[in-house]
Amino acid sequence: MAGDILVVAEHSDGAVKRPSLEALTCAAGLAGSLGGSVTALVAGPGAADAASACGAHGAAKVLTLDVDVADTNAWAAAVAGVATEASPALVLFSHTARGKDLAPRVAGKLDRPLASDCTELSVDGGAVVARRPVYAGKALVNVSASGTLLATLRPNAVPATENAAAGETSAADVKAPEKGLGAVLAEIVAAASEKIELTEAAVVVSGGRGLKEAANFNLVEDLAAALGGAVGASRAVVDAGWRPHTEQVGQTGKTVSPNLYIAIAISGAIQHLAGMRTSNYIVAINKDPEAPIFKVADYGIVGDAFEVVPRLTEAVKAAAAAG
Amino acid sequence: MNIVVCIKRVPATDTRIKVGADGTSIDETQVESIISPYDEFAVEAALQLKEAAGAGEVTVVSLGPAETTKELRTCLAMGADKAVLLKDGDAAKRDAQTTAAALAACISGLNADLVLCGKQAVDRDQGQVGTLLAAKLGLPCVTEIKKLEVADGKATVERAGDGGTTETWNVTLPAVLTTTKGLNEPRYAGLKGIMAAKKKPIEEVDAALDDAHITVKSLELPPPRREGRIIGEGPDAVDELMRLLREEAKVL
Ligand SMILES: Cc1cc2nc3c(=O)[nH]c(=O)nc-3n(C[C@H](O)[C@H](O)[C@H](O)COP(=O)(O)OP(=O)(O)OC[C@H]3O[C@@H](n4cnc5c(N)ncnc54)[C@H](O)[C@@H]3O)c2cc1C
Ligand SMILES: Nc1ncnc2c1ncn2[C@@H]1O[C@H](COP(=O)(O)O)[C@@H](O)[C@H]1O
């Protein structure tokens, strides 16, 4: 129906991911204004177990899709199949590793526009308006479409809150989706240890060239571990080969928007700021009081990272131990 | 092998953005332009494949204003063989679908074995033209590849999956692949390349453009961040930081 919203919810073994709970919360608010309801689409093993969390966050209905989620193209075909039947106002994804790969595929199949990496969605005159950063967050655009709009929601942009709805589960009646289309997933190699996805983390601790050598990143890793956060890096450090490309924060790396961003020995070049300036709180530790990072830091400490960071890590651990 | 690379002319990454007179796009006066950084990885990948095979042709395609010949010339100087400019003065403002359709109309006539795009153009940051192009051409697509090998009409690519995993995909060519950082180190165009590029062809044609699929209602600057604040010096400032994180920011 015209005011309805489909939310593609990601989960692992039935545990719905936080960015998806945020998308559901956002959708529930919009559906209220549009006079429609929210349907969550879940796929993959354990999909049925994801239903109650979807319901608790505002989904009136939960459709399970019987597809192989490793095959993004098949998954996209299934979502497109449901969307064609439902002709909703909005199909919402999270701007996660999977979501940003999946959403353009669905857009291609439906030939409908996609507003990617939105930080806010609202309703104006009965239509969904998507607000999204452009030019690496140096500007924002507000976009809308007539008819179904697709959007991906940036993690941490909208807090997840409970908003109980029926959460009635049924299996989606989608035609057997096309197979692979020439691209077949051959292998997935797990990381040495399960990592918190940088773009989804609530806390990010990043290190820069001021740390002098790769081995000193243990300072960053220890603080990140104490805070339960993810590790990021400046481009200088990635280009030097100290850290993998997947950890680069900035205009040509990842855009992060955590609750807390800690920049250690990073100068704060415009391209780095582009990737983290929308973080809720920014802490900077740098020995140069003139470093541009201090212009955006809510809490700046002028000092030597090798002295300040270990003390901070101890303090965080002590606070955690004290409960 | 025929390889087509899509590149976009975008403002340099250190550009200060001002809102243009129309209120829906940026003021482009005095803005330096560059090849969108992710597209450079695509150009480099194409050149490396051609060099490894010792044969083939690399064609660079861009939908852009007439001035885009500057960026296309750079690609030719890096080693691409020819370029096609689909002329569109408003290319920066086109939505992803319109752009993909215009590119598809051109590329479908180029007999490509492989089409490479950047993962994202760093102006509108849409991150979808490559995937939409693949859909329009009816080709398989793998996004954000960080490793690429081609043999016997097949590509083997790696991309970062969820939670630090690495996925390996086997792709039947022709296909569209989008590139990300880590794939390679784009070369600089040397003097020899720059001289050679002067003799290489840039074909200019009017772009085939459909109506917009999405409307930009307004473009605005983000609200300014709270003023930065230095709370202290050296390790002794840690206690105050902990207090602020707990009591003011409430993030601990
Ligand atoms: C097209 C383009 C794209 C780019 N994309 C990105 C991007 O995505 N991400 C990115 O990060 N950069 C990017 N850059 C690079 C960017 O311009 C900077 O060069 C880079 O961010 C600098 O990294 P840094 O802050 O680690 O190093 P530096 O600028 O060298 O800063 C090191 C800092 O460490 C401090 N320091 C030194 N010793 C200590 C100590 N003992 N304790 C505390 N502080 C110390 C110094 O005071 C200094 O401020 C890009 C550049 C271009 C041209
Ligand atoms: N106007 C354009 N001309 C040529 N290629 C483009 C254009 N716009 C986007 N692309 C390609 O599509 C990729 C993704 O762009 P986007 O979806 O706009 O972020 C870019 O990295 C380019 O490879």
**What ipTM describes this predicted complex?**
0.95
In this prediction, residues A95-108 reach a mean pLDDT of: 96
Asked if the model's pLDDT at residue A178 lies above 70, the reply is: no
Q: How far is the CA of A211 from the centre of ligand 1 (A)?
A: 11
**CATH T-level topology, domain A198-322:** Rossmann fold (3.40.50)
In degrees and rounded to multiples of 5, residue B64 shows phi and psi of: -170, 175
Query: In this complex, is the C-beta atom of B1 within 8 Å of any C-beta atom belonging to chain A?
Result: no
- State which residues form the domain around B14: 2-206
In a domain, B19, yes or no: yes
What residues line ligand 1, using a CB cutoff of 6 Å? A 208-210, 234-237, 248-253, 265-267, 269, 271-272, 275, 286-288, 291, 304-306; B 13, 37
Q: Tell me the HSE value of A219 on the side-chain side, using a 13 A CA sphere.
A: 25
Chain A hits for B224, CB-CB cut-off 8 Å, are none
**What's the distance, Cα to Cα, between the start and end of chain A in Å?**
49
Check if the beta carbon of residue A243 is closer than 8 Å to that of residue A233. yes
Taking only the tens of pLDDT, chain B with its 252 residues reads: 999 999 999 999 999 999 999 999 999 999 999 999 999 999 999 999 999 999 999 999 999 999 999 999 999 999 999 999 999 999 998 999 999 999 999 999 999 999 999 999 999 999 999 999 999 999 999 999 999 999 999 999 999 988 788 999 999 999 999 999 999 999 999 999 999 999 999 999 999 999 999 999 999 999 988 999 999 999 999 999 999 999 999 998
Asked if the model's pLDDT at residue A1 lies above 80, the reply is: no
Residue-level pLDDT at B3: 98
The DSSP secondary structure of chain B, one letter per residue, reads -EEEEE--EEE-TTPPP-B-TTSSSB--TT--EEE-HHHHHHHHHHHHHHHHHT--EEEEEEEE-GGGHHHHHHHHHHT--EEEEEE-TTGGG--HHHHHHHHHHHHTTTT-SEEEEES--TTT----HHHHHHHHHT--EEEEEEEEEEETTEEEEEEE-GGG-EEEEEEESSEEEEE-TTS--PPPP-HHHHHHHTTS-EEEEE------SSEEEEEEPPPPPPPP-EEEESGGGHHHHHHIIIIIS---
CA dist B115 and B177 (Å) reads 6
Residue-level pLDDT at A182: 86
The protein residue with its alpha carbon nearest to ligand 1, atom 38, reads A210
In a domain, B221, yes or no: no
In this prediction, residues A201-229 reach a mean pLDDT of: 97
Residue-level pLDDT at A164: 86
- Amino acid sitting at position B55: A
Tens of pLDDT, residues A54-80? 999 999 999 999 888 888 999 999 999
Q: State pTM to two decimals.
A: 0.95
Distance from CA of A173 to the nearest CA of B (A): 24
Point out the least confidently predicted range of A143-147, A261-265, B106-110, B223-227. Answer: B223-227
The domains spanning A5-171 and A198-322 adopt the same CATH topology: yes
CB neighbours (10 Å) of residue B146?
Answer: 19
**A254, A316, A321, A266: which is closest to A295 by C-alpha?**
A266
Check if the beta carbon of residue A121 is closer than 8 Å to that of residue A151. yes
Number of domains observed in the structure of chain B: 1
Q: What is the CATH number of the domain that holds B13?
A: 3.40.50.620
Residue of B7, B126, B129, B143 with the most ligand 2 atoms within 8 Å of its CB, for mutation: B129
Tens of pLDDT, residues A242-257? 999 999 999 999 999 9
Q: How far is the CA of A257 from the centre of ligand 1 (A)?
A: 19
In a domain, B87, yes or no: yes
Superfamily per CATH, domain A5-171: HUPs (3.40.50.620)
Residue-level pLDDT at A48: 86
CA dist A172 and A180 (Å) reads 20
Indicate the DSSP class of residue A198.
G
Give the ligand with the smallest distance to the CA of B64: 2
In a domain, B245, yes or no: no
Check if the beta carbon of residue A86 is closer than 8 Å to that of residue A7. no
Residue-level pLDDT at A249: 98
**A272, A95, A184, A245: which is closest to B180 by C-alpha?**
A245
Indicate yes or no: CB of B216 within 8 angstroms of CB of A142. yes
Distance from CA of B71 to the nearest CA of A (A): 19
In this prediction, residues A97-104 reach a mean pLDDT of: 96
In this prediction, residues A171-200 reach a mean pLDDT of: 78
Check if the beta carbon of residue A140 is closer than 8 Å to that of residue A131. yes
Of the residues A311, A313, A316, the best mutation for testing chain B's interface (the one with the most B CB atoms within 10 Å of its CB) is A311
The domains of chain A are located at 5-171, 198-322
Asked if the model's pLDDT at residue A131 lies above 90, the reply is: yes
Asked if the model's pLDDT at residue A180 lies above 60, the reply is: no
Q: How far is the CA of A296 from the centre of ligand 1 (A)?
A: 15
Residue-level pLDDT at A186: 86
In a domain, B51, yes or no: yes
